[in-house]
């Protein structure tokens, strides 16, 4: 049987294995190394497998490299479970949906009738009437000579039911041994439902897979599945898939290769909610073998069932099962639309969900940020949960849904938790406390120190098992994000030293140092914070050598992590001076990361570029473009590949946009000043088409991005929708986001009167001031927030005078100008010199003029009716007879990165407002002024004459 499987389907299996390795390299390694040899040797011991298994073993062993296997086997022993949970971590998430948490079917009272009707005979009635394992054991022994296969199988199921209440483990073991002995003669008579169900519950009770009965049950079930002429019920298929994955000691792509055709057929005929639930179980457990065609087909079927009302709030357990299947880390970014629709279907029953289910739904919603209509219901349900069960975990869930006005009370609750020794002893307390700390944006150094002191204590007392399973890697991830949120101003050297020590040890001596995806995470932290010998002079040599050796295996995500670590190190340790050796190391690492980007850029046209990977690569290259130079000369290779990767946005199809991708793209476009009109228009269309689902925070990111780039959408409808979304989510958004969104809407002349009234009132101004008082980064946040408020006030005063909003920012402008003394740049000095020559009197123009609304103008010149320059008039009555000319000197960053004729939003708004104040605005771009053709004799003088329309 298995010889035929291997020989007839070698090509297909290799494709599946290759795909599986690409998607889940670590999981694949775990399953191969932990189970391959032991499984095969154990299976060969069973005579019923015989020659087929021997051939299977020999063929499979030949595909493994002996040296690689021996290294990996020793290192990976007993590390599977911890890494499985880490592997599905989202970039921003502390709470992870482990695929194995939901691989079983829902356990309920109907389990007794799973296979047989209790009215089948008297013995079955007696079996089902048992209340505990002792009664079952006595009954089985009393009817020893009358037990049929149905009775034995039912006894196995009942034993599993009573397992949780067993006080004597020996009784269960003895009963199982006896039932296995009774079951062996009937194995050939079992149908697929009986074989798969029995195998599943025996696996749950940890009966060794090497037991002869277990081997025979598996063989019987697989033979049925592999026989195309035999009917296999969907329930049996799901039970068998769960059983094989339970314990994770089988190599699923080999054993379950023939499951896929049956799954595909059942997807086409799926009509009921039960079918959908069972298919979700199958797809989740067969994930390595599921391709895009099957996944998309299943999502289409789910959509039909949702539209027809088959799947609705009346079956929340089915929806949760589907959500957990769609949300696993491997493909969650592909399933955002389906996840959104399923979450929306849960809305009527949110308050009726069990506590753990509610937390699960919150995790999924917070990652995907859709649908927005669920936010209020979740906030109410979580507040009720928090009031009933006040703990660090419930606090961590509630904070992201709480209104800003409750922040002070929640901070006091957090202080109580962090000072409690009992809280720190609870399971996973550091993760819950961190999520709350980060969501509350607490900048109090004392509170931060208490949290990281607790983490340091946890690290110092960590067992060798925990260290070997890389549990500390989550603390690395948290610290890097926390440090970043505080603008690099917060440091806990004790935590940095301990984590760096653990990370470099794992890199040097552990198998994790040989796996690219894990090495990238470990190396990122060591790159960032150092604490290694000679860290002020160079990076550790082992990091450089491993980066070079693994160059061809890095994914875009790995490249981003490494570049992020380098960026932090250049900010913290090499901000003012980069040692020569570090420059050489950076050149080598940069070459590796650029080669990965080139490899991605060379993807054939048949394969559409993945927006998720593209966003990661752009962020990776942005980190390097900002900070990496050799002898103060920007790396040309980086610049070329950087623009090449950015250009890939034009090739992307935007059919699968979602809120997370929107935010990532908006961040990248804002950070790079890259203008992609087609993508931006698609983003605005998404706002229009998904008004009910998209949240205010996401809309604000899109508006700010478009305003920053000066892009004008084709229609005003998305702007109107955006204004309504701001009103809808006004109480949940932070003040800075609301101000930024309103400024962008003012630029587009799309802000509503109601929104203006809500922003320019005492309560909102007080809300912004409170945020400034309790902000993360005291060095930059307050000034940024106040400056944006000033810009919004100015824009409303000029663009919406009918709203009668007073101008109350003059004191801020004067204070800001006094702190920032005027510094004349070489560009300004050169233009001034030519103006003096051209006008023949420096009193005919003003330098660095400041308007009443705080706009700074480089040069102001007054012309009379005959277009002759005159001195600035003292009387306002003469203003109607003269022309005020404002000359703005525009640097390179005033234009979009890829279009030097496209003026960015803030500068466009400035031009518009100056024109409203009566100025004729002329612009001189620095890149044009310093171009080669302007170096010709009299070129600059003639350029200014033409610009100012001066005849002589």
Cα four-point dihedral sign 721, 723, 726, 727 = negative
SS3 of residue 641 by DSSP: helix
**Choice among 2-6, 611-615, 723-727, 759-763 with the minimum mean pLDDT:** 2-6
- What tokens appear for 561 in the block? 């992590």
Query: Phi and psi (nearest 5°) for 588?
Result: -70, -45
Predicted pLDDT of residue 303: 94
- What tokens appear for 872 in the block? 């600035």
CA 347 to CA 337: how far, in whole Å?
Answer: 16
**Is 25's pLDDT higher than 80?**
no
**Is 53's pLDDT higher than 70?**
no
Predicted pLDDT of residue 703: 96
**Choice among 345-354, 528-537, 629-638, 754-763 with the minimum mean pLDDT:** 629-638
Is 276 within 8 Å of 270 (Cβ atoms)? Answer: yes
Query: Which among 568, 570, 595, 594 has a CA at the least distance from the CA of 582?
Result: 570
Predicted pLDDT of residue 440: 87
Residue ranges of alpha helices (H) inside 429-492 are 429-440, 445-460, 464-468, 472-485
Q: How many CA atoms, within 13 angstroms, populate the side-chain half-sphere of residue 26?
A: 23
Other beta carbons within 10 angstroms of residue 436's beta carbon come to 27
Other beta carbons within 10 angstroms of residue 931's beta carbon come to 11
Give the angle subtended at the CA of 860 by the CAs of 854 and 862, to the nearest 5°: 130
CA 211 to CA 167: how far, in whole Å?
Answer: 25
What does the pLDDT look like over 333-368, one tens digit per residue?
Answer: 889 999 999 999 999 999 999 999 999 999 999 999
CA 711 to CA 333: how far, in whole Å?
Answer: 27
Verify cis geometry, omega within 30 degrees of 0, for the bond prior to 398.
no
Query: Which among 134, 242, 118, 240 has a CA at the least distance from the CA of 190?
Result: 240
> C-alpha distances in angstroms, 215 versus 47, 209, 234, 796?
9, 7, 22, 76
Predicted pLDDT of residue 688: 93
What does the pLDDT look like over 270-325, one tens digit per residue?
Answer: 999 999 999 999 999 999 999 989 999 999 999 999 999 999 999 999 999 999 99
What does the pLDDT look like over 471-515, one tens digit per residue?
Answer: 899 999 999 888 766 666 788 999 999 999 999 999 999 888 999
Predicted pLDDT of residue 952: 55
Beta bridge partners of 857: 849
Dihedral through CA 924, CA 927, CA 928, CA 931, nearest 10?
Answer: 150
Predicted pLDDT of residue 57: 34
Query: Phi and psi (nearest 5°) for 63?
Result: -85, -5
CA 296 to CA 10: how far, in whole Å?
Answer: 26
- What tokens appear for 294 in the block? 């099957």
Averaging pLDDT over each range in 70-79, 823-832, 879-888, which range is the top one? Answer: 823-832
Mean pLDDT across the chain, nearest whole number? Answer: 81
Beta bridge partners of 899: 896
| Beta strands 883-890; 856-863: pairing state | antiparallel
Verify cis geometry, omega within 30 degrees of 0, for the bond prior to 371.
yes
Averaging pLDDT over each range in 161-170, 173-182, 545-554, 612-621, which range is the top one? Answer: 545-554
**Is 629's pLDDT higher than 90?**
no
Place of tokens 């760096």: 500
Query: Phi and psi (nearest 5°) for 623?
Result: -60, -45
Give the angle subtended at the CA of 12 by the CAs of 10 and 15, to the nearest 5°: 110
Predicted pLDDT of residue 15: 40
Place of tokens 């003394």: 821
**Is 625's pLDDT higher than 50?**
yes
What does the pLDDT look like over 719-730, one tens digit per residue?
Answer: 999 999 999 999
What does the pLDDT look like over 398-433, one tens digit per residue?
Answer: 999 988 888 889 999 999 999 998 999 888 899 999
Averaging pLDDT over each range in 140-144, 264-268, 478-482, 768-772, which range is the top one? Answer: 264-268
**Is 388's pLDDT higher than 60?**
yes
Beta bridge partners of 846: 860
At what angle are helices 516-529 and 493-509 packed, to 10 degrees? 140
| Beta strands 883-890; 919-925: pairing state | parallel
Residue 118 confidence class, pLDDT cut points 50, 70, 90? low
**Is 948's pLDDT higher than 90?**
no
**Choice among 13-17, 128-132, 379-383, 503-507 with the minimum mean pLDDT:** 13-17
Q: How many CA atoms, within 13 angstroms, populate the side-chain half-sphere of residue 96?
A: 21
Mean pLDDT of 208-231: 91
Question: Widest CA span of the chain, in angstroms?
Answer: 122
SS3 of residue 905 by DSSP: helix
Other beta carbons within 10 angstroms of residue 121's beta carbon come to 15
Predicted pLDDT of residue 426: 87
Mean pLDDT of 257-262: 91
Encode 687-719: b = buried (16+ Cβ within 10 Å), e = exposed.
Answer: bbebbebbbbbbbbbbbbbbbbbbbebeeeebb
- If phi > 0 it is left, if psi is from -120 to 50 it is alpha, else beta; for residue 841 that is beta
Those residues with Cβ within 8 angstroms of residue 484's Cβ, 6 or more apart along the chain or in another chain? 568
Give the angle subtended at the CA of 843 by the CAs of 840 and 845, to the nearest 5°: 90
Which DSSP symbol is given to 251? -
- Strands (E) in 533-668, as ranges, are 629-630, 633-634
**Is 436's pLDDT higher than 80?**
yes
CA 615 to CA 566: how far, in whole Å?
Answer: 18
Dihedral through CA 504, CA 507, CA 509, CA 515, nearest 10?
Answer: 170
**Choice among 600-609, 619-628, 718-727, 885-894 with the minimum mean pLDDT:** 600-609
CA 835 to CA 841: how far, in whole Å?
Answer: 9
> C-alpha distances in angstroms, 758 versus 722, 726, 747, 802?
15, 11, 18, 16
Residue 32 confidence class, pLDDT cut points 50, 70, 90? very low
> What is the full DSSP assignment across 477-539?
HHHHHHHHHTTT----HHHHHHHHHHHHHHHHHSGGGGSHHHHHHHHHHHHHH--STTTTT--
> C-alpha distances in angstroms, 880 versus 844, 858, 864, 913?
18, 22, 10, 18
SS3 of residue 897 by DSSP: coil
CA 614 to CA 620: how far, in whole Å?
Answer: 10
Predicted pLDDT of residue 171: 72
Query: Which among 178, 338, 374 has a CA at the least distance from the CA of 658?
Result: 338
Q: How many CA atoms, within 13 angstroms, populate the side-chain half-sphere of residue 854?
A: 23
What does the pLDDT look like over 92-117, one tens digit per residue?
Answer: 223 233 333 433 434 434 677 777 77
CA 465 to CA 78: how far, in whole Å?
Answer: 9
Mean pLDDT of 579-599: 89
**Is 229's pLDDT higher than 60?**
yes
Predicted pLDDT of residue 34: 33
- What tokens appear for 389 in the block? 């069960």
Those residues with Cβ within 8 angstroms of residue 935's Cβ, 6 or more apart along the chain or in another chain? none
Cα four-point dihedral sign 430, 431, 432, 438 = positive
Predicted pLDDT of residue 88: 31
Mean pLDDT of 646-668: 85
Higher pLDDT, residue 57 or 320: 320
Q: What is the 3-state secondary structure (H, E, C) of 831-856?
A: HHHHHHHHHCCHHHEEEEEECCCCCE
């Amino acid at each position: 049987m298995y010889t035929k499987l291997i020989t007839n389907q070698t090509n297909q299996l290799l494709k599946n294995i290759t795909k599986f390795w690409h998607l889940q390299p670590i999981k694949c390694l775990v399953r191969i190394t932990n189970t391959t040899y032991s499984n095969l040797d154990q299976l060969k011991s069973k005579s019923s497998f015989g020659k087929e298994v021997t051939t299977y073993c020999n063929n499979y062993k030949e595909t493994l490299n002996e040296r690689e296997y021996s290294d990996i086997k020793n290192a990976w022993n007993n590390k599977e479970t911890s890494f499985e949970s880490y592997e599905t971590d989202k970039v921003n998430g502390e709470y992870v949906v482990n695929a194995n948490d939901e691989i079983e079917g829902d356990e309920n009272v109907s389990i007794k009738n799973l296979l047989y009707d209790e009215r089948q005979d008297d013995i079955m009635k007696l079996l089902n009437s048992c209340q505990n394992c002792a009664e079952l054991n006595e009954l089985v022994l009393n009817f020893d000579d009358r037990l049929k296969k149905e009775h034995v199988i039912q006894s196995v199921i009942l034993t599993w039911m009573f397992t949780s209440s067993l006080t004597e483990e020996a009784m269960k073991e003895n009963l199982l041994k006896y039932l296995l002995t009774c079951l062996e003669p009937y194995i050939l008579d079992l149908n697929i439902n009986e074989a798969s169900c029995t195998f599943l519950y025996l696996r749950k009770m940890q009966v060794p897979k090497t037991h002869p009965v277990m081997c025979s049950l598996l063989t019987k079930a697989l033979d049925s599945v592999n026989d195309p002429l035999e009917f296999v019920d969907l329930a049996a298929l799901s039970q068998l898939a769960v059983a094989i994955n339970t314990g994770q000691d089988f190599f699923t792509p080999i054993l379950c290769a023939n499951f896929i055709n049956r799954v595909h057929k059942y997807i086409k005929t799926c009509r009921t909610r039960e079918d959908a639930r069972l298919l979700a179980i199958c797809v989740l457990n067969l994930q390595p073998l599921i391709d895009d065609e099957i996944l998309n087909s299943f999502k289409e079927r789910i959509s039909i069932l949702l539209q027809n009302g088959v799947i609705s709030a009346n079956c929340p357990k089915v929806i949760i099962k589907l959500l957990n299947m769609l949300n696993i880390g491997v493909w969650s970014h592909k399933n955002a639309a389906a996840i959104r629709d399923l979450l929306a279907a849960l809305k009527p029953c949110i308050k009726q969900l069990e506590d753990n289910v509610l937390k699960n739904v919150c995790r999924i919603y917070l990652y995907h940020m859709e649908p927005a209509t669920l936010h209020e219901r979740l906030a109410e349900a979580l507040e009720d949960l928090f009031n009933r069960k006040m703990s660090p975990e419930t606090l961590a869930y509630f904070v992201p849904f709480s209104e800003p006005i409750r922040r002070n009370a929640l901070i006091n609750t957090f202080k109580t938790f962090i000072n409690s020794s009992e809280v720190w002893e609870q399971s996973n307390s550091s993760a819950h406390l961190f999520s709350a700390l980060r969501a509350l944006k607490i900048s109090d150094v004392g509170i931060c120190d208490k949290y990281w002191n607790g983490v340091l204590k946890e690290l110092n007392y960590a067992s060798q098992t925990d260290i070997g399973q890389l549990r500390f890697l989550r603390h690395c991830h948290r610290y890097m994000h926390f440090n970043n949120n505080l603008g690099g101003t917060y440091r806990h050297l004790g935590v940095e030293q301990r984590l760096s020590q653990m990370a470099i040890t794992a890199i040097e001596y552990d198998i994790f140092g040989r796996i690219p995806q894990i090495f990238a995470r470990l190396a990122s932290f060591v790159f960032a914070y150092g604490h290694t010998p000679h860290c002020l002079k160079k990076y550790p040599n082992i990091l450089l050598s491993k980066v070079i050796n693994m160059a061809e295996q890095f994914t875009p995500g790995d490249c981003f992590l490494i570049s992020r670590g380098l960026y932090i190190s250049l900010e913290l340790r090499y901000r003012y001076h980069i040692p020569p050796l570090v420059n050489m190391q950076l050149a080598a690492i940069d070459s590796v990361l650029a080669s990965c980007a080139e490899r991605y850029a060379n993807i054939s046209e048949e394969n559409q570029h993945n927006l998720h990977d593209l966003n990661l690569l752009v962020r990776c290259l942005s980190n390097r473009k900002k900070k990496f130079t050799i002898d103060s000369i920007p790396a040309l290779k980086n610049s070329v590949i950087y623009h090449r990767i950015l250009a890939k946005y034009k090739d992307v199809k935007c059919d699968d946009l979602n809120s997370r991708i929107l935010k990532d793209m908006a961040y990248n476009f804002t950070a790079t000043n890259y203008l992609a009109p087609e993508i931006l228009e698609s983003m605005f269309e998404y706002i229009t088409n998904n008004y009910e689902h998209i949240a205010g925070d996401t809309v604000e990111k899109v508006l700010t991005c478009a305003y920053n780039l000066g892009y004008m959408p084709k229609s005003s409808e998305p702007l109107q929708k955006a204004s309504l979304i701001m009103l809808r989510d006004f109480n949940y958004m932070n003040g800075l986001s609301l101000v930024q969104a309103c400024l962008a809407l003012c630029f587009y002349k799309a802000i509503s009167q109601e929104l203006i009234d809500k922003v320019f009132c005492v309560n909102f101004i007080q809300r912004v001031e409170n945020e400034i008082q309790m902000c993360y980064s005291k060095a930059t946040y307050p000034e940024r927030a106040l400056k944006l408020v000033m810009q919004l006030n100015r824009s409303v005063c000029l663009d919406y005078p009918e709203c009668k909003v007073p101008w109350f920012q003059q004191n801020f402008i004067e204070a800001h100008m006094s702190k920032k003394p005027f510094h004349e740049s070489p560009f300004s000095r050169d233009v001034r010199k030519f103006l003096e020559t051209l006008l023949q009197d420096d009193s005919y123009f003003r330098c660095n003029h400041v308007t009443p609304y705080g706009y700074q103008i480089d040069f102001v010149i007054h012309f009379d009716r005959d277009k002759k320059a005159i001195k600035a008039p003292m009387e306002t009555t003469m203003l109607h007879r003269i022309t005020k000319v404002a000359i703005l000197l525009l640097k390179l960053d005033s234009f979009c990165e890829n279009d030097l004729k496209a003026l960015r939003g803030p500068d466009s708004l400035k031009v518009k407002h100056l024109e409203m104040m009566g100025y004729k605005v002329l612009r001189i771009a620095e890149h044009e002024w310093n171009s080669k053709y302007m170096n010709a004799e009299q070129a600059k003088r003639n350029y200014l004459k033409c610009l100012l329309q001066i005849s002589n």
